Chains A and B, each alone.
Chain A
């Protein structure tokens, strides 16, 4: 009996959003009508979204890719022998050799798109649980030390060293501690958390168990935004499978360590991505932020010491333990160690996931990986780090991606999302949107954020209408300063960033002449 040919069609929700389900169905039908037996695997996405739906065929030479495939292409693909990896108009060659992929250094995303995300067997075959097994042979102090020396910093935006957070929780005395994963990925231009939860959910589970063992917590929560129904479903299935395999439960891998894990869904509030608002929401309350201190590490969920980490911060941990902290820390530049999962989005020709070490330039990401704008028009600016991130003009694309370089330029790496705008973008409207978004999403606790954002929209509207420019400019600058100084969290405190970056780089789009904006922050 000959071996069945293995064909991969992603089940990532983004791939499905452009027809992957219909393609998978049509492949099965074509194969059936030609009496070919196939092993059709629904894998995660490789993260090359301009090629989705991307179909891969396992051949003796390796996995061969075709894309973007539509249902109408399938008859031709079968006729031209794509099941033997033969040439076709949509041929992309061996998947691993596609420059977009071969030019990356995938560590956190190493298993992404390789196999069925919910196959426990595949997870183990691809190196899964090696981090947890290593952790079980270490003391909590040793685990925390490894995470600290790896240099992993929070991927949610603030860039706080993950190991130091863990140490604080480890040293806190309490009968109950928690590990919470912040998966409320609300920044536009970011989708790496969603991909990871759908495409490698066991990795996040493994990471949370390690965190629990490290700090002495036996209960964890993953707070996922409701806009991600497929990620929620994938996590819930993965957790069930993890319990069946003894990766979760009263004695993880028969170690005597207990760890229970729960998925909680948000309900459409951007502010719940702020860690204290997320804790409030997990407790079943309005997502209103808390003043810090006390730090969540000391008084977090239900007042107990709590690790709160982003999906990507956690997901970097298993590899660090499996291969040692140096493996991670030797990558990157200055105080930004390891890799970042950059996400190219918006008006870009080759949108997708680019995992490379910190230190890469914006230009390399946008032009070499991204291929410039999707519209083929000149790029005007990119917004990095979500709706609270600065707009960076094309003239600054030599900036390198690291936390300190960006902070020095009044910008932030944030969650690694990069949204590209071409020369048709109206930057005055983008400035207005920053305030409008804050007005819509503010939790209402701090007046500068709750009221200031509404006033901000009004002031910018007057400027866009050409009304009393210098007086309104002064008002806008003053308002931005008040929001920066007078807000408890990043929502009000960073909303001025995109606005001020537009004042600095595109003053004419708010009706100003160059130099009119004082540039002071």
Chain B
């Protein structure tokens, strides 16, 4: 199967672009999480300057923004690799060998879960449930859901990622 892998494209950090994003959400109720999700979608991560900028524009404390950034697993404070690969390690996937698959994936992608490979091609993460429990073991490549995964398919995926990244 062809994974049609495309590396994620992120803008480089700019306070002007970030301010625009914040302004776009200003009229919403309780916009902080929406703003942070949007900043990450745009820049790939929450830049350290974003904390004070958001705090100032929303008129809340930096501690409050920092508290939210650190509470949610999705929000990262470091840029990710070109591809983010998430491996589901919840019960449904466990029942068909997700733990062994996660071990193998660390070998195949040459990085530990929770970190980015040296060539920065892949950030490998574990996740608890992708809602693809009927087709376990499940994974996610950027925002693309993958099902019925096995070592062979992960190897194919890794080759494709390497080809695209080079």
B75 touches A267 (CB 8 A): yes
Query: What is the CA–CA distance of A417 and B133 in the complex, to the nearest angstrom?
Result: 9
Given A17-B145, A387-B91: A345 and B131 within 8 A (CB)?
no
Contacts of B145 in A (CB 8 A): 13-14, 16-17, 230
A343 touches B74 (CB 8 A): no
Query: What is the CA–CA distance of A213 and B33 in the complex, to the nearest angstrom?
Result: 28
Say which residue of B1, B37, B93 sits within 8 Å of A267 (CB atoms).
B37
Query: What is the CA–CA distance of A343 and B131 in the complex, to the nearest angstrom?
Result: 11
B104 at interface by CB-CB < 8 Å: no
A344 CB, nearest partner CB in chain B, Å? 7
A283 at interface by CB-CB < 8 Å: yes
In the complex, the chain B residue whose C-beta lies closest to that of A227 is B130
Given A18-B135, A186-B129: A286 and B67 within 8 A (CB)?
yes
Contacts of A267 in B (CB 8 A): 33, 36-37, 72-75
Query: What is the CA–CA distance of A184 and B31 in the complex, to the nearest angstrom?
Result: 18
Interface residue ranges of A198-230 to B (CB < 8 Å): 226-230
B7 at interface by CB-CB < 8 Å: no
Given A17-B135, A17-B147, A267-B36: A441 and B128 within 8 A (CB)?
yes
For chain A, the bracket of interface size reads 35 or more
B37 touches A302 (CB 8 A): no
B8 at interface by CB-CB < 8 Å: no
Contacts of B32 in A (CB 8 A): 284-285
B13 CB, nearest partner CB in chain A, Å? 19
Q: Which of A264, A422, A440 has the most CB of B within 10 A?
A: A264
B35 CB, nearest partner CB in chain A, Å? 8
Interface residue ranges of A402-434 to B (CB < 8 Å): 417, 419-422, 425, 430, 433
Query: What is the CA–CA distance of A197 and B33 in the complex, to the nearest angstrom?
Result: 21
A104 at interface by CB-CB < 8 Å: no
Interface residue ranges of B101-160 to A (CB < 8 Å): 127-136, 138, 140, 143-148
B95 touches A347 (CB 8 A): yes
Query: What is the CA–CA distance of A302 and B28 in the complex, to the nearest angstrom?
Result: 13
Query: What is the CA–CA distance of A344 and B92 in the complex, to the nearest angstrom?
Result: 10
B128 touches A430 (CB 8 A): no
B133 touches A346 (CB 8 A): yes
Against B, the Cβ 8 Å flags (1 = close, 0 = not) of A376-400 are: 0000000100010000000000000
Against B, the Cβ 8 Å flags (1 = close, 0 = not) of A292-328 are: 0000000000100000000000000000000000000
A111 CB, nearest partner CB in chain B, Å? 19
Given A267-B37, A387-B91: A284 and B68 within 8 A (CB)?
yes
B133 touches A227 (CB 8 A): no
A169 at interface by CB-CB < 8 Å: no
In the complex, the chain A residue whose C-beta lies closest to that of B129 is A188
Contacts of B36 in A (CB 8 A): 267
A268 touches B73 (CB 8 A): yes
B57 at interface by CB-CB < 8 Å: no
Query: What is the CA–CA distance of A47 and B1 in the complex, to the nearest angstrom?
Result: 22
Given A268-B74, A387-B90: A420 and B95 within 8 A (CB)?
yes
Given A22-B1, A191-B131, A352-B134: A430 and B91 within 8 A (CB)?
yes
A-B residue pairs in contact (CB < 8 Å), sample of 10: A14-B131, A189-B133, A265-B33, A268-B72, A270-B128, A285-B64, A285-B68, A286-B68, A346-B92, A387-B90
B residues near A (Cβ < 8 Å) are 1-2, 4, 28-34, 36-37, 64, 67-68, 71-75, 90-96, 127-136, 138, 140, 143-148
